[in-house]
Structure 1
């Protein structure tokens, strides 16, 4: 016998009851192997479930499958509205999720595809501190009037300064988001519209038709209103329903995620059940598969 084998062998007591204990040994060994197999299956299942959760620390995309942000960059978005949009984007950027980005005013284009890591939104955040700048050569007065800009008062140019100079046509952003979903072939993707809802009256018909296409396609739409006027808000309540508009408490709850470091989402009941089953298996193993202990008869 080698030294290694002798180290593995545990000390035992000689007995003449080997034959009587044989059936108990085989039964215990089979039970141990069965419990080990079930434990491995549960561990593999829990690993697969954990990878598929993809839960986001916000309730904006509650399905956990990510979505597309449709962001209003029209000239009606002032400093206060831009700062709220920044808070929303920041809460998404701080998650470990996937998100797409469509920006629009009177036209729209895809800035980020829907499989982009949400952290890619971070470079855009500084441009929302003072509101969107429609051009490096003009500025807006306190009364809202756009006038030529002076070199000393030149605002920071944003990536969309020379692109979006017109009014608001929300339908263009929603159309672009729907086309992206059709291109990706993933109807689980939802759409988050971030806008002040100050839509052009000429766009009402197109917007209504596009919302009808969303309903037919089963695309989930949520709206984050950026301090809209009463009439604009009421129009969207009629078009998409009050439940589709994200209320202020929910916005504050989502944008406060970094301080709280918590995940807002459904409780992972499946993982909890698997954990309880593993604990039960350990208890059964200790109760039924323990080593024989010699002692006085009970």
Structure 2
């Protein structure tokens, strides 16, 4: 017959008072490490909350994207080439719609973004300040953003996309009579669960404020550089690494290591 084994939390001692100071010291260390761990987790949480869509990929992760490019005459010197080059150098997948007075589909949803590089030559300004001749010159004129956005919405529906996103690249130079129609289209897009992002090509403050009222300031992505795609820091590991997350992770690991080293159970040899 096996006798039940009594489980004890510690080792019996004849003089427990001698260990009281060590017990207090251990309790203080344990509380301190717990507080430090909570602080690190809070830091990671607030860093995550502070991340801005302006520094995020153009196409929201987990969505099927449609890039909507404004080819109206007013964007000739607005950094369109930098935006196309940036997207073509990534591993994102996106469809492409171009618009001015009307809208046309150039790439279906899910196309590798590297296919945009074949179009890049049409958007680079030459030494004389003009753009090369391109297949869309005949319909370049006014800016009907609503036409491009509505066409992109229809393409996503045609492909049966349930979680899609539409990225508008434009100088936002819209006519007053276009505002009501654009507002209707944007409301419809949002009601269907599609995300909207805007890459502003150096618009006027008035036009930017107008579009912000329709899509919200958080939908805006950082404007492209006029002279170069990215600054040297952004191209380096320094610019790419999420350093606050790295620091928070390192502090968390140090905290856990200290906990294991200082507060580990005492091994008693038999």
Match for residue 219 of structure 2? 244
Tell me how far apart the structure 1 counterparts of residues 178 and 241 of structure 2 sit (CA, whole Å).
35
TM superposition score normalised by structure 2: 0.61
Match for residue 106 of structure 2? 111
Structure 1 counterpart of 2:170, from 195, 199, 205: 195
Q: Alignment partner of 1:114: what SS? A: coil
CA contact (8 A) 1:59 1:264 kept: no
Match for residue 217 of structure 1? 192
Structure 2 counterpart of 1:61, from 48, 59, 62: 59
Query: Aligned pair count?
Result: 187
1:60-94: CA deviation from partner (whole Å, max 9, x where unpaired): 12324341110000111132x0xx22111111111
Tell me how far apart the structure 2 counterparts of residues 189 and 93 of structure 1 sit (CA, whole Å).
19
Going from structure 1 to structure 2, the CA distance change for 1:212 and 1:263 (only over 3 Å counts) comes to same
Tell me how far apart the structure 1 counterparts of residues 144 and 151 of structure 2 sit (CA, whole Å).
12
Unmatched 5+ stretches in structure 1: 1-56, 132-140, 143-153, 266-297
Tell me how far apart the structure 1 counterparts of residues 198 and 65 of structure 2 sit (CA, whole Å).
13
Q: Alignment partner of 1:237: what SS? A: helix
Match for residue 123 of structure 2? 128
Taking the TM superposition and a 5 Å limit, the aligned residue runs for 1:100-179 are: 100-130=95-125, 156-162=132-138, 164-179=139-154
1:192-228: CA deviation from partner (whole Å, max 9, x where unpaired): 1000000122211110110110121011000011111
CA contact (8 A) 1:68 1:102 kept: yes
CA contact (8 A) 1:67 1:190 kept: yes
Going from structure 1 to structure 2, the CA distance change for 1:156 and 1:78 (only over 3 Å counts) comes to closer
TM superposition score normalised by structure 1: 0.56
> Is structure 2 residue 71 aligned with structure 1 residue 73?
yes
1:122-142: CA deviation from partner (whole Å, max 9, x where unpaired): 0111111228xxxxxxxxx99
CA contact (8 A) 1:102 1:176 kept: yes
Whose Rg is larger?
A: 1
Unmatched 5+ stretches in structure 2: 1-54, 243-269
